[in-house]
Amino acid sequence: MSDPVTAQERTRTIEQMFSRLVPHYDRMNRLMTGGRDGRWRTLAVRLSKPEGSAVLDLGAGTGDLSAEFRRQDAARVIALDVSAHMLTRAEEKFGRQQIEWLRGDALHLPFADGSFDVVASAFVMRNLPDLAGSFEEMARVLKPGGRLVGLDITHPPDSRWGKVLRVGFEQGVTRVAGLVSGDRSAYRYLPNSLSGYPTADELSAMLETAGLVDVSYRRLSMGVVALHIGRKR
């Protein structure tokens, strides 16, 4: 478990950084993923089997994942994010009729045990100040049999091609994104966020430690993105 003061400080730093990025966030996502992030979200939602489910979108950002859950017939979607500015933008995009927008953080989810059929996140896990503690909270609010789905950038395969992909991510895409957004420091953070982030296998083990079973993952985009899925007993 991370030191609570350190976790709070990092949460505040992340909140401030992403709040600054709101005007450029959607455009940057398209640019940095070559327009593939929408397809990845669609796949993540489909694999979660959302029909008729109560869903928590953790770190909802500007709402794209939440909206995809509604498109795929989730019964209820709560979109939670630490940044009020992100949530304001999300509400401007998608309205309030079918999605509930809520400010909060992953270490202190304001829900009773067993509240959701699905807890999902997209490009959030690397930014959590206490990943193990956050996984415990996600598992807590899942119903028995509920599904956790996490989509994020990951360490590419340990191969020559994997190293090429990583260099391209660290030096190419993020530099261009920083120039377009005008906030180079924020996009310099993105490759740095991978330095202490678990590998895909290590992340699977952490999910199992948090109480999930049938944990698996698939690599996307030549291995630089991983989609993890697990189920609560």
Residue with tokens 């310099």: 188
**Mean pLDDT calculated for residue range 34-39:** 92
- pLDDT of 182 > 80? The answer is no
* Per-residue pLDDT tens digits for 112-136: 999 999 999 999 999 999 999 999 9
Kindly report the CATH number assigned to the domain that includes residue 79.
3.40.50.150
pTM: 0.90
* Per-residue pLDDT tens digits for 205-228: 999 999 999 999 999 988 889 999
Q: How far is CA 180 from CA 21, 25, 184, in A?
A: 11, 11, 9
Residue among 41, 154, 55, 151 at smallest CA distance from 111: 55
- pLDDT of 190 > 80? The answer is no
User: What confidence score (pLDDT) does residue 226 get?
Assistant: 97
Question: What domain range is 111 assigned to?
Answer: 4-232
